[in-house]
Structure 1
Amino acid sequence: MSKAVRYERFGGPEVLEVQEIPEPHAAPDEVRVRVTAAGLNPMDWQIAAKADTAARFGITLPAGFGTDFAGVVDEVGAEATGFAVGDRVHGGAIGRSVADFVLVKTPAADLWPTPEGVGDEVAATLPVAGLTASAALAAVGLKAGDTVLIGGAAGGVGVFAVQLARLAGARVLGTASEGTFDFLRGLGAEPVAYGPGLADRVRDLAPEGITAATDLFGRETAGTALKLGVAAERISVVADGPAPPPGVRKAGAYDAGPGSLERIVDAIRSGEITVPIAATFPVERIREAVTTQAERHVHGKIVIAL
């Protein structure tokens, strides 16, 4: 038997249970990963909360939980390609990652080698957040010399977006609560409080104007950027959430270009990007972990240890 977080009805963290399930084994075209860490994303608890959200991702009850994971390949099917027993890997498996084992079909588009110098906790935070941040910035054509406003800059996607934008040579203004300002400054962003009056505060910080924006939480930042005269095609929003204003780009992890995650991993290894781990919880405290993340006051990523 093995452990997996599962739920049999939609709802809040209270529906999540650590269950004993039969140990899965790799089919001929699969590899099995012994999961050591799983990174949480807002999409994980949003899928578990609502049937219509789950349906968009092909999730039906009863269901597993989580998407991002890292671990070690410990079984390889006779026809599987690309990986060997003992390989350290990280990847994405929607509705399946918070479990002792994850099965992945090969050839695998959502499984990557984890290089030396990158720990499993860090690797487990990368696929959804890293790729979403990369796609959101690519959607607005971010370039050196831009002044970009990033909404939700202290969140799990925001910490990647801020650093990627800085690496691209942009000046970064990041919306957040005042309690996260020092944290954002440490990542290279100039913090600005979200909420009523955001446009005026951005004008005070950047009187010459902003040239691009990406909204990683809600639609306030996108609306503010339009108000400040940014062209709609230079504004992006994450794929989940209400429809954006006309002309504003939508972007998600699956929109990231080839090699995006590999470039992020290289930047982590070289020290150009840091991955703040806000907290690590044992799998038995999954409800507490999800509650903590859903409050959206954490600085960085939440990880589950298995």
Structure 2
Amino acid sequence: MALSWIARDFGGLDVFEMVDLEVPAPGCGEVTIDVRASGMNPADYKHVAAGRDRADLPIRVGYEVSGSISAIGPDTELASGGGSLGDEVLAFRIRGGYASSVTVPAKDVFAKPASLGHPEAANLLLAGTTAAEMLDVTGVRAGDTILVHGASGAVGVSVLQQARLIGARAIGTASARSAATVARFGGEHIEYGEGLEERVRALAGGPIAASLDCVGTDEAIDVSLALVLDRGRIVSIANFTRAERDGYRVIMGRFPASAVFRDRVRARLIDLAGRGELVVPVARTFPLAEAREAMAFLAEQHPGGKLALLP
């Protein structure tokens, strides 16, 4: 048995409950992970709030974890190759990660770099693959100047670091109190609010090649449309309502093309993180039993980094 968080219904945080669940023995192509840290993302509760198909209930919560292998199915190896009992691993694009133990497809499990702590490893891939896809679909390349809306959030911070590795210059919007975060990860901070378009033009001193929106505000979209000539080089992960009318791109993990790309890029991001070239800032950890409180903190505050649940 394992302690696991589920959503018994669609709605707010009151629908989440911690229960004892049987952990199935791994079959061929599966491994069981003793979880050391569960990564936390806004999608964990947003997907429950927006759910409609009651056949999906109860929903097992959590898309990424880090831990160690406690069982491995016959004729099975990890996505990164090999795999033995006790190996430290991370897993992404799984279900039920808010748990003390979980059995998952081995194709979604990778060896954890020794240089990464479990809270960092458990928070690497959802934000990291989203950031990588944003840069990919907008064709960001060396020498480009790009605008990143919400640059101090989890996806924004990963975008800044990956853009720097590409050789692009990133101007990042964030509040004044987050200026140091933007600078730390390679961006040039600019405060959002009235006059943003003019301030970006002045700081850029030239064309903005692409705009990557991680916040979804109308201001972010309006400024992006005003500054970027090619709307195919504007992407949002948060404002879907205006995309059809205004002609910019949107991506989401459940889109088939997004899923294929994000699966393909996982190993590269793990390698970058293992070499210290992609950092995951962790602001705070919570006991697994306090998942509801942690989700409330994530939803209502500005954590200044990622959160993790520790069984």
TM-score (norm 2): 0.88
Structure 2: unaligned runs, 5 residues or longer: 254-258
- Aligned residue in 1 for 2:159: 161
Determine the C-alpha separation between the residues in 2 that align with 1:136 and 1:87. Answer: 32
C-alpha spacing 1:63/1:139, structure 2 compared with 1 (3 Å): same
Q: d(CA) in 1 for partners of 2:134 and 2:252?
A: 7
Mapped contact 2:240–2:250 kept (Cα < 8 A): no
Displaced runs of 4 or more, over 6 A: none
- One-letter identity of the residue aligned with 2:235: S
* 1:1-306 → structure 2 map (5 Å cutoff): 1-52=1-52, 55=53, 60-82=56-78, 83-106=83-106, 108=107, 110-220=108-218, 221-238=220-237, 241-244=240-243, 245-253=245-253, 254-256=259-261, 260-295=265-300, 297-306=302-311
Contact kept, 8 Å, 1:280 with 1:303, in 2: the verdict is yes
Structure 1 segments unaligned to the other structure (5+ residues): none
TM-score, normalising length from structure 1? 0.90
Q: Distance in 2 between matches of 1:86 and 1:204?
A: 54
Which whole-Å CA distance do the structure 1 matches of 2:263 and 2:15 have between them? Answer: 36
- Deviations for 1:260-294, whole angstroms, at most 9, x for unmatched residues? 22222222233222211011111111112111111
Kindly state the Cα deviation for residue 296 of structure 1 after the two structures are TM-superposed. Answer: 5.1
**C-alpha displacement of 1:40:** 0.9
Q: Could you tell which deviates more after superposition, 165-174 or 191-200?
A: 191-200
1:117-154 deviations in whole A, cap 9, x for unaligned?
A: 12221110112111000000011111111111111111
Distance 1:295 1:200, change over 3 A: farther
Tell me the amino acid that sits aligned with residue 71 of structure 1. G
Question: By how many angstroms is 1:62 displaced?
Answer: 1.4
- d(CA) in 1 for partners of 2:6 and 2:49? 13
Q: Hey, what's the Cα distance between the residues in 2 that align with 1:230 and 1:133?
A: 22
**Equivalent-residue separation in structure 1 for 2:93 and 2:144 (angstroms):** 35
Q: Could you tell me whether the CA contact under 8 Å between 2:34 and 2:68 is conserved in 1?
A: yes
